[in-house]
Structure 1
Amino acid sequence: MKRKENTLDTGLWNDIIVVIGLIIGLILFMEYSGEIATEVGTIVSKSLEDMNTSVASSK
């Protein structure tokens, strides 16, 4: 008969590391979500302005 060991297998350790990484990423996203939204808004508005300028100059 095989003896059952009290250690965690590598698959479980991998899952634990991934979950911890996701939690850290979520915390960082929540902390900087205002700044991220501002940057995304700025990038989208500048892109739309560039497209508008391009369309206006091509006519």
Structure 2
Amino acid sequence: MALATHFITLDIHLGDAQEDLVGMIEAALAKRGEPLRWAITQVNPATQTATVEAVVTTQA
């Protein structure tokens, strides 16, 4: 079983995550693979979005 790692960037709309921002980010990342680490790297108050950069693994 081989694993591949990927660096991904997601934009999360903050209005959709009023209750559980961490849960929403982790659910979005889980669609792309198994998250190893992630961070919010930018917040845009004008558009109410957060940029998330992450490293995920997938089965190769």
Q: Please say whether Structure 1 and Structure 2 have the same fold, judged by a TM-score greater than 0.5.
A: no
Largest Rg, 1 or 2: 1
Structure of higher RCO (CA pairs closer than 8 Å, 6+ residues apart) = 2
More helix by share: 1
